[in-house]
Amino acid sequence: MAEKVLLKKYPNRRLYDTEKSTYVTLQQVADLIKFGRRVEVIDAKTEEDVTAFILHQIILEEARMKNGLLPVSLLHLIIQYGETVLKDFFEKYLQQTIENYLAYKATFDEQFRNWLDLSMDLSDATQKTMTDLLTPYKSLFDLFSASQETKEKMKKGE
């Protein structure tokens, strides 16, 4: 598992990275997560864990920039059923579904790379094999080539 970065959230809404001793933006926190780091955000005053709140903020900010992350109909369902049905769904199934998708995608990408490598190896081997197979007949091909040259000279009247 990725090493955690401890962030402190101050009352002025600023986030402080205790590892680098500097203030960070929500975008910088998102970048940390995208690079595989885990973050833990603690309220500096109350020492309450506010990680989920900050992660929600990041998702909402990205959705705002892209004019929507989830379809409106799904947002209505989330508001309508709130903490009952959808909370269970998100906790139990959505996370597992996304993790399975990412694992499947990584496996498929690796297999596709292997197929491409195998294809390249086979095409190199096929080219070499064809050259090796035709080598004994090189003199015959040369004869044919010479014969073609002779025919062309004859046509020109040389």
50-87 pLDDT tens trace: 999 999 898 888 888 876 777 778 777 777 777 677 77
Final residue of a domain: which of 52, 69, 86?
A: 69
Domain count of the fold of the chain: 2
Task: Give the Cα separation of 113 and 135 in Å (integer).
Answer: 33
Q: Is residue 56 part of a domain?
A: yes
Position 79 scores a pLDDT of 73
Residue with token string 């990408």 = 109
Domain that residue 56 falls in: 4-69
Question: H or E element: which one contains 95?
Answer: helix 95-134
Q: Is residue 11 part of a domain?
A: yes
Q: What does the pLDDT average to over 111-123?
A: 74
Q: Is residue 98 part of a domain?
A: no
Q: Is residue 102 part of a domain?
A: no
Q: C-alpha dihedral over 70, 74, 80, 83, to 10 degrees?
A: -70
36-45 pLDDT tens trace: 899 999 999 9
Shared domain for 65 and 112, answered yes or no, is no
pTM of the complete model beyond 0.85: no
Question: H or E element: which one contains 22?
Answer: strand 22-24
